């Protein structure tokens, strides 16, 4: 298996997001100051996750998937590992 450098956790609007779970929660709770900020968070999720279902993992999950915040993070991590993508860098 090819080694890939872990990708960094996102930094959103000057605020460092420390975990993937915290990032997904922020998106699900629509915690941006504006709708445009929330859209940027979703765009960043799609960019970082690279999952083919993109934001549907959050908004339109398949019936066979756990749609909790933890389930979303688990799905992304499993898909990335299965597809030879790097994991997420800690803090």
Higher pLDDT, 90 or 79: 79
Alpha carbons 42 and 58: distance in angstroms, whole number: 9
CATH of residue 43's domain is 1.10.1200.20
87: in domain: no
pTM for the predicted model, two decimal places: 0.77
User: Is-contact 37 13, C-beta < 8 A?
Assistant: yes
Q: Is residue 90 part of a domain?
A: no
Domain enclosing residue 56, as ranges: 11-82
Mark 20-35 as b/e (b = at least 16 C-beta within 10 Å): beebbbbbeeeebeee
Two structure tokens written together for 43: 């765009």
For residue 87, what pLDDT is reported? 84
Task: Let me know if residue 1 belongs to a domain.
Answer: no
Q: Is 45 buried (19+), middle (13-18) or exposed (0-12) by CB count in 10 A?
A: buried
Average pLDDT on 27-46 reads 95
């Amino acid at each position: 298996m090819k080694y890939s450098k872990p990708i960094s956790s996102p930094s959103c609007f000057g605020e460092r997001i420390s975990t993937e779970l915290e990032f997904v929660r922020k998106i699900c709770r629509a915690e941006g100051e504006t709708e445009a900020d929330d859209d940027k968070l979703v765009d960043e999720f799609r960019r970082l996750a690279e999952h083919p279902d993109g934001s549907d993992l959050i908004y339109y999950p398949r019936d066979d998937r756990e749609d909790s915040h933890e389930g979303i993070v688990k799905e992304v991590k499993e898909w990335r590992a299965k597809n030879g993508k790097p994991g997420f860098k800690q803090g």
